[in-house]
Amino acid sequence: IMPRALGFEFGVMTPGTHNAITDVANVLVGQVTLIEGNDIRTGVTAILPHRDNIFQQKVPAAVHIGNGFGKLAGSTQIEELGNMESPIILTNTLSVAAGIEGIIEYTFSFPENDKVYSVNAVVGETNDGYLNDIRGRHVKPTHVVEAIAKAKSGPVEQGNVGAGTGTVCFGFKGGIGSSSRKLPETLGGYTVGVLVQTNFGGVLQIDGMPAGKLLDQYSFQNQLESADGSCMIIIATDAPIGERNLKRLAERGMLGLARTGGIASNGSGDYVLAFSTDPNSRISHQSRPLVLENTRYLRNDDMTALFLAAIEATEEAIINSLFAAQDMSGRDGHTVKALPIKEIRALKESLNTTNR
């Protein structure tokens, strides 16, 4: 059961068809989940801006660093050039190298890339070491290629899947979450979609409801729990916007995280990556010299509705990851319980009776 079924709304805008990042035209998601034996609880989530050769058809992109205690590969080239030339791979902290290798192999698999000597692989991570034998580095480049190959549109599997298989969020089982917002036509009709890998702490708040306090589980409650952890936030939109406004959009991802009670603790690697799938905004790798690029972008003045959409979709994607996750046991007998939906439902219903 997902939060909307309980009456949670997360803002004032309307989700897209699947309430997922794949509501943004052309976006594909593929996941490989590794659950083996007692100790392997990890995986790979791949997000593609389109199904074509991404290296040859780059997309405008930007990165915002909410808290940089993390290992995101590829960020500096995205910032310098304003574009992204690979799928986005999410995995665990010690498998970033596997992610890079997998992306290189995938990129080299295109015959027209046979003269490519440089690939800016984009690989994000959070640390699933509590449930997963992370030091074993069980993610291999083949898993990365497989996740990319499986990428598809439509509903996105959430919870204990892909890169979210072993993550923990607000002391509950975290995972992969997704959500989207479709702007009214009068505001442009564009879609903003978000996918998150949740692995962080704070004081959980669900659509304003102080769940962490009500459930008596939050950081510093007894000063024993750590708020550390990380959150990867991927924001896609079909709106035609350039890298500067994509960076501003990415910055709003952290505002969405804040609304769930996230605090970007010292140990958190909170990175937001935003890209546009607008077909007219693609940047071809090869071009004739001195031919001007003809871009048609939204103006600064038209950004605010997209900002709000990104905030709302990030908030909901994070909560979705918690609702979709299940109890998980893993390394060294560690167990993490899922969010107690039944209790959440009861709390929510008691609020609803007040006509809230």
Side chain identity, residue 17 = T
Q: Among 2, 65, 215, 341, which residue sits at the site for a second copy (rule: CB under 8 A)? A: 65
Q: Kindly state whether residue 112 participates in binding a second copy, applying the rule CB under 8 A.
A: no
Task: Give yes or no: 238 in active site.
Answer: no
Between residue 271 and residue 300, which ones bind a second copy under the rule CB under 8 A? 271, 283, 287, 289-300
Instruction: Specify the DSSP element, H or E, that contains 43.
Output: strand 40-48
Q: Among 1, 37, 38, 76, which residue sits at the site for a second copy (rule: CB under 8 A)? A: 76
Angle at 208 between CA 68 and CA 349, to 5 degrees: 140
> Smallest distance, Å, CB 254 to a second copy?
7
> Which residue's CB is nearer to a second copy, number 25 or number 155?
25
CB 150 within 8 A of CB 31: yes
Q: Kindly state whether residue 96 participates in binding a second copy, applying the rule CB under 8 A.
A: yes
Burial of 328 (0-12, 13-18, 19+ CB in 10 A): buried
Between residue 170 and residue 229, which ones bind a second copy under the rule CB under 8 A? 184, 186-188, 202-203, 205, 207-210, 213-214, 218-221, 223, 227-228
Q: At what angle do helices 141-149 and 96-108 cross, to 10 degrees?
A: 60
In DSSP terms, 88 is beta-bridged to 47, 122
> Smallest distance, Å, CB 180 to a second copy?
17
The stretch near a second copy (CB under 8 A) out of 24-32, 131-139, 145-153, 322-330 is 131-139
# binding residues, a second copy (CB under 8 A)? 110
Radius of gyration of the chain from its Cα atoms, rounded to whole angstroms: 19
> Which residue's CB is nearer to a second copy, number 22 or number 219?
219
Q: Kindly state whether residue 136 participates in binding a second copy, applying the rule CB under 8 A.
A: no
Instruction: Specify the DSSP element, H or E, that contains 254.
Output: helix 243-259
In whole angstroms, give the CA distance from residue 302 to residue 340: 40
> Smallest distance, Å, CB 341 to a second copy?
18
> Which residue's CB is nearer to a second copy, number 301 or number 342?
301
Between residue 227 and residue 266, which ones bind a second copy under the rule CB under 8 A? 227-228, 240, 242-244, 248, 251-252, 254-259, 262-266
Q: Kindly state whether residue 124 participates in binding a second copy, applying the rule CB under 8 A.
A: no
9 phi/psi in degrees, rounded to 5: -120, -30
Task: Give yes or no: 268 in active site.
Answer: yes
CB 120 within 8 A of CB 59: no
In whole angstroms, give the CA distance from residue 185 to residue 177: 26
Q: Among 18, 25, 53, 302, which residue sits at the site for a second copy (rule: CB under 8 A)? A: 302
In whole angstroms, give the CA distance from residue 340 to residue 333: 21
Task: Give yes or no: 230 in active site.
Answer: yes
> Which residues belong to the active site?
230, 268, 270
